[in-house]
Amino acid sequence: MTVPSITEYVDGVLAGDPAVLARAITLLESSSPHRRAIAHEVLGQLLPHSGGALRVGITGVPGVGKSTFIDQLGLNLVAAGHKVAVLAVDPTSSRTGGSILGDKTRMDRLAVSPDAFIRPSPAGATLGGVTRATRETVLVCEAAGYDVVLVETVGVGQSETVVAEMVDFFLVLMLSGAGDDLQGIKKGILELADMIAVNKADGDNATRAQLAASDYRMALHLMSPASTTWTPPVLTCSGMTNEGLDELWKQIEIFRDRTSATGEFDERRRGQQVRWMWSMLDERLRDDLRSRPALSELLSSMESQVQAGDLTATVAVEQVWQAYATDRSST
């Protein structure tokens, strides 16, 4: 297969060619220094054409019905004239073997829409590598003309935080009728949420969903809102029956309009860019440190001594840093 030139990558993405878009994303995911250099050139030329999409992060507990919800929400948005990209952040994908086919199968209706693009995260050993590629993928999808980007957390734990750091709006899906609803909520997740939606609010579960929503509203009232212009609403919905999804999206648009008017929307994005820069610098420094053969034995020794309590972390860091500085100066 012929490798596209930088111009062919850029022109194909700007033309909205899904095949070229997919190849450009694969290029961005590469860890090869040569391919990364090409990716930087492509991304640099596409950057002026990015930034126009509404970026929405979606998370939820296992079994909450994220795939069905996103499938239906995406169809609604396409019907309303939007172009929708769905990206998945899964730091465990290297162990579970996540695939494009798997993601498209669980969103089978949206996957066949010509105005939708579905892409899972790369299988990576580190969350940092996954989020770097996902952030860059967002920009490339925007350059390709997608005006809504849905970023789904497939993994658990830290993935919620990193997704919240790359989107404009963070939606948390919850379940009802599963026992003590509030017991499974992490305070940190509530602090990240711009909206809580109790999913599967249909049939016999509708009443329980309303009760759960009341509990979540009470929990949110006990916390200080992250924004001075937005109080996270709590809604009920059903991805299966398409109930409540129009109102949910209306709230997201209200959030965008309100925070844009106050400047908070743009300020949030600027802050994310700076934090992304420092995150990538941290990642590069760690990789460089660990890749130096002269330091491998010292690192192993320091870890063992700190774990055994024979050395404080502060002293270990100082010794490693001094050795790292010396090794760098000699190369």
pLDDT tens digits for range 259-292: 999 999 999 999 999 988 888 888 889 888 988 9
Cβ neighbours around 232 below 10 Å, total: 23
Q: What share of the chain is helix, strand, coil (3-state, %, to 5)?
A: 60, 10, 30
CA pair distance 66, 104, nearest whole angstrom: 13
Q: Do residues 14 and 143 touch, judged by C-beta distance below 8 A?
A: yes
Which of these, 169, 144, 151, 165, lies nearest to 50 by C-alpha position?
A: 144
Distance between CA atoms of residues 165 and 323, nearest Å: 34
* Exposure string for 296-322, b = 16+ CB within 10 A, e = fewer: eebbeebeeebeeeebeeeebeeebee
Q: Which of the 8 DSSP states describes residue 293?
A: H
pLDDT value of position 104: 52
One-character DSSP codes across 167-184: -SEEEEEE--SSSSGGGG
Using CA atoms, how far residue 250 sits from 7, 193, 208, 255, in Å, is: 39, 16, 24, 9
Q: What is the pLDDT of residue 94?
A: 44
Q: What is the pLDDT of residue 157?
A: 62
H/E stretch holding 236 reads strand 234-236
Q: Which residues in the chain show pLDDT less than 70?
A: 1, 90-105, 121-131, 155-158, 177-187
Count of all residues that appear for the chain in the document: 331
Q: What is the pLDDT of residue 96?
A: 42
Pairing of strands 54-60, 169-174: parallel
Q: What are phi and psi of 153, to 5 degrees?
A: -90, 120
Closest listed residue to residue 59, CA positions, set 169, 172, 176: 172
User: pLDDT tens digits for 45-68?
Assistant: 999 999 999 999 999 877 889 999
> CB neighbours (10 Å) of residue 206?
16
Ordered structural domains, the chain, with CATH: 1-49 (1.20.5.170), 52-261 (3.40.50.300), 276-329 (1.10.287)
